[in-house]
């Protein structure tokens, strides 16, 4: 039996409290891949409140390994007229694995509207070779089609930044927003090109804001990540995701612990 698709993983969430066995094919070392952990948290939140306003912002703290049987505990922190805030604790066999906060808000009429961001220039993904397959990256990377555009590759000695196209390989039946969250953290830490040797990494915190909601679970996204400062065993990076039309979909920040 092959790797379960994202839709199959989400469909396996069941029970009261909600539980799921962390699928090994979506792992990164000894834990579930961070993007998948956050995606399952959102799926649990949407299960609790299926008519939530559009998701606007996410804060994720990755506390410990998300391994074995996972318990997803969503809680409504506040529900107002236009905004709802939901917290989700993800617990693994060793205790708390992640603490997630999802901020949702209904659209409102406004006299202010502008967009002052421009997508980086990049060839189309079909014109680029695939990289970071199952032999070249962590286990979960086999679920994605990733094409390198510019920036250094891990351990290459290049600049501490990446620009790559990415999409989910088997997205059929998946919710587009769950798919986007699972994909948004797919790039390696941007500091890895300057690693002098392979080393362990661990994401400590990840936050992102959504400029627009996705419509296609299998869409290509242009993903960028730039390590702004790296010192004392920690790297802080900025992250952006753009759709095929050149519109920014997501802007994020991340702190990564590096053991090199």
Instruction: State pLDDT tens for residues 153-209.
Output: 888 898 999 999 999 999 999 999 999 999 999 999 999 999 999 889 999 999 999
The answer to whether residue 112 sits within a structural domain is: no
Q: Which residues contact 32 (CB under 8 A, 6 or more apart)?
A: 22, 23, 26, 40, 66, 67, 70, 97
CATH number, domain with residue 174: 2.40.160.210
Q: Which tens digit of pLDDT belongs to each residue from 99-116?
A: 999 999 999 888 898 888
Q: Which residues contact 56 (CB under 8 A, 6 or more apart)?
A: 103, 104, 105, 209, 210
Instruction: Calculate the average pLDDT of the chain.
Output: 94
Q: Which tens digit of pLDDT belongs to each residue from 18-48?
A: 999 999 999 998 999 999 999 999 999 999 9
The answer to whether residue 113 sits within a structural domain is: no
Cβ(209)–Cβ(252) below 8 Å:
yes
The answer to whether residue 115 sits within a structural domain is: no
pLDDT at 253: 98
pLDDT at 18: 97
The answer to whether residue 19 sits within a structural domain is: yes
pLDDT at 134: 40
The answer to whether residue 245 sits within a structural domain is: yes
The answer to whether residue 84 sits within a structural domain is: yes
pLDDT at 152: 87
Angle between helices 176-183 and 34-48 (to 10 degrees): 150
The answer to whether residue 118 sits within a structural domain is: no
Count of structural domains within the chain: 1
Q: What is the pTM of this model?
A: 0.95
d(CA 135, CA 227): 25
d(CA 8, CA 143): 13
Q: Which stretches of the chain are DSSP H helices?
A: 6-11, 34-48, 176-183
pLDDT at 57 over 80: yes
pLDDT at 195: 93
Instruction: Report percent pLDDT > 70 for the chain.
Output: 97
Domain range enclosing 71: 6-107+123-259
d(CA 27, CA 6): 13
Q: Binning pLDDT at 50, 70 and 90, where does residue 132 land? A: low
The answer to whether residue 204 sits within a structural domain is: yes
d(CA 256, CA 74): 25
């Amino acid at each position: 039996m092959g790797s379960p698709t994202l839709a199959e993983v989400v469909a396996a969430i069941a029970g009261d409290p909600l539980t799921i066995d962390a699928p090994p094919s979506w792992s990164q070392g000894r834990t579930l891949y961070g993007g998948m952990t956050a995606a399952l948290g959102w799926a649990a939140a949407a299960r609790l409140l299926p008519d939530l306003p559009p998701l606007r912002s996410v804060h994720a703290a990755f506390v410990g390994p998300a391994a074995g049987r996972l318990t997803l505990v969503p809680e409504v922190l506040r529900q107002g007229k236009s905004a709802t805030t939901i917290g989700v604790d993800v617990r693994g066999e060793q205790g708390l694995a992640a603490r997630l906060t999802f901020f949702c808000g209904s659209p409102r009429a406004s006299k202010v509207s502008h967009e002052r961001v421009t997508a980086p220039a990049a060839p189309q993904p079909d014109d680029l070779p695939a990289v970071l397959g199952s032999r070249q990256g962590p286990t979960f990377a086999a679920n994605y089609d990733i094409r390198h555009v510019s920036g250094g590759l891990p351990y290459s000695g290049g600049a501490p930044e990446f620009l790559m196209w990415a999409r989910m390989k088997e997205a059929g039946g998946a919710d587009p927003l769950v798919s986007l969250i699972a994909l948004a953290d797919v790039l390696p830490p941007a500091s890895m090109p300057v690693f002098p040797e392979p080393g362990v990494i661990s994401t400590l915190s990840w936050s992102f804001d959504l400029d627009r909601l996705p419509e296609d679970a299998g869409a290509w996204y242009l993903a960028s990540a730039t390590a702004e400062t790296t010192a004392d065993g920690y790297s802080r990076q900025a992250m952006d995701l753009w759709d095929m039309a050149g519109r920014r979909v997501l802007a994020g920040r991340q702190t990564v612990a590096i053991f090199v």
